[in-house]
Chain A
Amino acid sequence: MVAHLLRLKLTLLRNGLRRSPWQLVGLAFGGLYALFIVGMCVVLLVLLRQQDPGLAQTVVVLGGSAALLGWGIVPVIASAVDMTLDPARFTTSAVPMPQLLAGLALGGLIGLPGLATSIVALATVVTFSRGVLPAAGALVGAVLGVLTCVVFCRVVTTATSSLAASRRFRDVSGIAFMVPLVLLGPITAGIFQGMAGSGAFLSDLAGRISWTPLGAAWSLGGDLEAGRPGTAGLKLLIAAATLAGLSWCWKLLLERALVTPPYSGSSRRKGGRLGLFSLLPATPAGAVTARALTYWFRDPRYSGSLVVIPLLPVVLAFQGSQTNDYGVLMITGPLTAFLLAWSISGDVSYDNTAFALHVAAGVRGVHDRLGRALACLAFALPTVLILAVVPFFIMADWAWWPSILGMSVGVLLTGLGLSSVVSARYTIAVPLPGDSPFKKPPGNVGQTLAVQFGGMGVLLVLVLPEAGLVLAQVLTGDPLFGWINLALGPVLGTALFIVGVRLGGRWLDARGPELLAQVTVNR
């Protein structure tokens, strides 16, 4: 039966590759990348054999613990875990539980992450091949460690699979994933600085972790090498107990999962809370504004892009702290204005076929456009004003503020006007309603790129006056150009905003049903 499950896994993998050559290319690239990483790790571990045993112990324990943590965490946030052997699919085939467990655990080793972890873990045997006992210890540790990785991953995914079926969890985890992604640069730099600070810190850490379930298995070889068989025995007990405990948890969870399919429950709520609909004017445009604003906060596809905005100044400030020149902070305002304004250029694509309600209700195009643009403007204008001015407090140099402020407001209003035109005519490929913001969207990638880059090109042309004034101030140093920009940006922006909403509205009136047909293709 175990052999059956393994063969099934291999067949699934092979058929998956047969489905499209691109799958094969993807696997090849993934394989090359993994091969590179694995190669580096193996070389490192072999070289460590000649080094101080304490150092080898530190590296192996910390690396092993990190791998174990990774196996537990990555599947949850990326929800990319390979579910080809999803236990729920075996409910009807009545496979005996012990064999199902063994088959699924070994099946987890097939595939890139499993293979890579196994090879690197076995390379630790070479590191400690300074005697028979340490090598044997390392081998036992490696086997225990890899099995613990796989079982831990299964425990986490089985435990969260019913959780992951709930909409709220998916919404929040999708957005939460965004934060570390954007801050990746500053975070890694911080860690390296901390490590440069003290060398003993890491070996202390490794020593402590080796007594926990995380690192016990990986420390067996090192402890035997250092002549501490008693310690090694205790840690072997810890590691074995960890694996046994996790397996037992997994068995319990699996037994429960097999008889209770994932249930996406949610509490019933009585009405009476109309939210923004009772605050904004009871007109078609007001209703569209209320709906769009509600979506900015409730739909992770929209709110995901909002999370990036406060992180933007942080990243730029970090950049500035590296070079001690905070001038780069000045672009925060215009950049935020551009990102927010451009974010509604795919608004109808985000609606998907729900847009049918607008067509069926006979909403006039200009009301539709105005409502969406005002919703974005409602929070974008204060945000941009703040982000355009705050950098000058930090820099304590106020020479540029009129110019930057005028440019930011100009870019925001112009961008909203242009977005209103673009989304009335062109659809782009975006994640479907209810999908994760990271999911690869269905649809025509070529058209999406053409619309996005074409639109940005037009926007660049439209904000040339503001950009020209900034350039003039750079060249002449005359602050007068800045003051002109402060007046010109809002005036020109407002004019283009009105033109954009009107033109977009007219196009929508003429081609509403065609636009609906376009989004229907990707439902």
Chain B
Amino acid sequence: MSTPLIALSIRGLAKRFGTKIAVDGISLDVPAGSFFGIVGPNGAGKTTTLSMATGLLRPDFGTAVVHGVDVWAQPLQAKKLMGILPDGVRLFDRLSGEQLVTYAGLLRGMDRDVVAARVGELLAALDLSQDAGTLVVDYSAGMTKKIALASALIHAPKILVLDEPFESVDPVSAANIRDILDRYVATGGTVIVSSHVMDLVQRMCDHVAVIAGGRILAAGTVDQVRAGATLEERFVQLVGGRSQTEGLEWLRTS
């Protein structure tokens, strides 16, 4: 294929909070069927960019188009195509895990029987079956992340946008989630993840974008971006800000 299908196309997205410019004109094309990583230091604008691309936060400038549907002109159609795991938002945590995922399905107008079947499978795949009836408020941080992921998957979206999906998730569950996402991508789905963990992104993703200070510093396939070095080395090189580790002489124990 000469021109790959574009799943998510962002053009000139920008957002300002008060005097601070959080996102300063970001443009990005995410090819369909790709596993796309977005990395950046704290406060780089990752969450703000993803929120604007998914219809959760209205941008000051710019557009976001999902499979040909403008997110801000036709929000209801665009949101049908997307599964979203936002970072740092609460859940309706007085529902049981099972109720929460069912709620997410019914809110999207799905059929009751389809929802029930999928909820069972999702909870089993994410190792939450034993706690399906427990209230989400009593879940651990990792379990909460997993139940939010299940809520994002229930309607079989064409594109998944996951903000920090592996935070406080145990290694076994993380491996399970990676398997689910790999299979999802293999069958033509598109996944966008943001993360701090460079190793994970390098192993898992085929495309990556490095964001800092509200701008894109590099974007492309993982091999293009890391240019022979590891992704972590390249990231530090691009972003800068490593402090020299002199001083603290007294901390040596010998």
Binding site for B on A (CB under 8 A): 167, 264, 266-275, 277-278, 282-284, 286-288, 290-291, 294-295, 298-299, 351-354, 356-364, 433-434, 512-514, 516-517, 520, 523
Q: Are A362 and B76 in contact, with the CB atoms below 8 A?
A: yes
Task: Tell me if B249 counts as interface (CB < 8 A to partner A).
Answer: no
A508 to chain B, nearest CB (A): 12
Interface centre among B58, B92, B109, B132 (most CB of A within 10 A): B92
Q: Are B129 and A271 in contact, with the CB atoms below 8 A?
A: yes
Contact residues in A for B123 (Cβ distance below 8 Å): 271
Q: How far is the CA of A271 from the CA of B124 in the complex (A)?
A: 11
Return the CB mask of B87-125 against A: 1 if under 8 Å, else 0: 011111111111100111011111110010000100100
Return the CB mask of B65-96 against A: 1 if under 8 Å, else 0: 00000000001101110101010111111111
Q: State which of A269, A353, A363, A516 has its C-beta within 8 Å of the C-beta of B132.
A: A269
Q: Are B94 and A295 in contact, with the CB atoms below 8 A?
A: yes
Q: How far is the CA of A363 from the CA of B155 in the complex (A)?
A: 13
Give the top 4 A-B pairs by smallest Cβ distance, nearest first. Answer: A271-B132, A362-B79, A269-B133, A287-B106
Contact residues in A for B104 (Cβ distance below 8 Å): 357, 361
The A interface, classified by DSSP as helix, strand, loop or mixed, is helix
Q: How far is the CA of A173 from the CA of B248 in the complex (A)?
A: 50
Nearest opposing residue in chain A for B92, CB measure: A354
Q: How far is the CA of A135 from the CA of B104 in the complex (A)?
A: 72
Give me 12 other A-B pairs in contact (C-beta within 8 A), A274-B102, A354-B91, A517-B57 excluded.
A269-B133, A271-B98, A272-B98, A287-B102, A287-B103, A287-B106, A287-B107, A291-B95, A294-B99, A362-B80, A513-B57, A517-B58
Q: State which of B107, B132, B137 has its C-beta within 8 Å of the C-beta of A358.
A: B107
A275 to chain B, nearest CB (A): 7
B96 to chain A, nearest CB (A): 7
Q: Are B138 and A273 in contact, with the CB atoms below 8 A?
A: no
> When A270-B130, A277-B102, A364-B76 are in contact, do A513 and B55 touch as well, CB less than 8 Å?
yes
> When A299-B94, A353-B90, A433-B93 are in contact, do A271 and B103 touch as well, CB less than 8 Å?
no
Contact residues in B for A275 (Cβ distance below 8 Å): 99
Task: Tell me if B206 counts as interface (CB < 8 A to partner A).
Answer: no
> When A357-B107, A362-B75 are in contact, do A513 and B56 touch as well, CB less than 8 Å?
yes
Contact residues in B for A277 (Cβ distance below 8 Å): 99, 102-103, 106
Task: Tell me if B202 counts as interface (CB < 8 A to partner A).
Answer: no
Return the CB mask of B43-69 against A: 1 if under 8 Å, else 0: 000000000001111100000000000
Nearest opposing residue in chain A for B52, CB measure: A513
B138 to chain A, nearest CB (A): 4
Q: How far is the CA of A148 from the CA of B153 in the complex (A)?
A: 58
Contact residues in A for B93 (Cβ distance below 8 Å): 354, 433-434
> When A167-B137, A513-B56 are in contact, do A360 and B86 touch as well, CB less than 8 Å?
yes
Task: Tell me if B232 counts as interface (CB < 8 A to partner A).
Answer: no
Q: Are A514 and B99 in contact, with the CB atoms below 8 A?
A: no
Task: Tell me if B134 counts as interface (CB < 8 A to partner A).
Answer: yes
Task: Tell me if B182 counts as interface (CB < 8 A to partner A).
Answer: no
Task: Tell me if B131 counts as interface (CB < 8 A to partner A).
Answer: yes
A196 to chain B, nearest CB (A): 47
Nearest opposing residue in chain A for B75, CB measure: A362
Q: How far is the CA of A269 from the CA of B97 in the complex (A)?
A: 10
Q: How far is the CA of A404 from the CA of B7 in the complex (A)?
A: 60
Nearest opposing residue in chain B for A287, CB measure: B106
Interface centre among A282, A516, A520 (most CB of B within 10 A): A282
14 pairs, CB–CB < 8 Å, chain A vs chain B: A268-B131, A270-B130, A270-B132, A271-B133, A272-B98, A284-B108, A291-B95, A294-B95, A298-B135, A356-B56, A360-B152, A362-B75, A513-B55, A517-B58
Task: Tell me if B151 counts as interface (CB < 8 A to partner A).
Answer: yes
Q: Are A513 and B133 in contact, with the CB atoms below 8 A?
A: no
Contact residues in A for B76 (Cβ distance below 8 Å): 362, 364
Q: Are A361 and B94 in contact, with the CB atoms below 8 A?
A: no
Q: How far is the CA of A368 from the CA of B115 in the complex (A)?
A: 20
> When A354-B89, A356-B86 are in contact, do A283 and B133 touch as well, CB less than 8 Å?
no
Q: How far is the CA of A433 from the CA of B138 in the complex (A)?
A: 13
Q: Are A434 and B107 in contact, with the CB atoms below 8 A?
A: no
Contact residues in A for B137 (Cβ distance below 8 Å): 167, 434
Contact residues in B for A520 (Cβ distance below 8 Å): 89
B122 to chain A, nearest CB (A): 11
B150 to chain A, nearest CB (A): 12
Contact residues in B for A513 (Cβ distance below 8 Å): 55-58
B13 to chain A, nearest CB (A): 14
Contact residues in A for B152 (Cβ distance below 8 Å): 360
Nearest opposing residue in chain B for A264, CB measure: B138
Contact residues in B for A270 (Cβ distance below 8 Å): 129-133
Interface centre among A167, A295, A513 (most CB of B within 10 A): A513
Q: Are B133 and A291 in contact, with the CB atoms below 8 A?
A: no
Q: How far is the CA of A339 from the CA of B91 in the complex (A)?
A: 27
Nearest opposing residue in chain B for A280, CB measure: B106
Q: Are A282 and B133 in contact, with the CB atoms below 8 A?
A: no
B103 to chain A, nearest CB (A): 6
Contact residues in B for A282 (Cβ distance below 8 Å): 106, 110-112, 115
Contact residues in B for A268 (Cβ distance below 8 Å): 130-131, 134
Q: How far is the CA of A417 from the CA of B95 in the complex (A)?
A: 26
Nearest opposing residue in chain A for B17, CB measure: A517
Nearest opposing residue in chain A for B114, CB measure: A282
Contact residues in B for A287 (Cβ distance below 8 Å): 102-103, 106-107
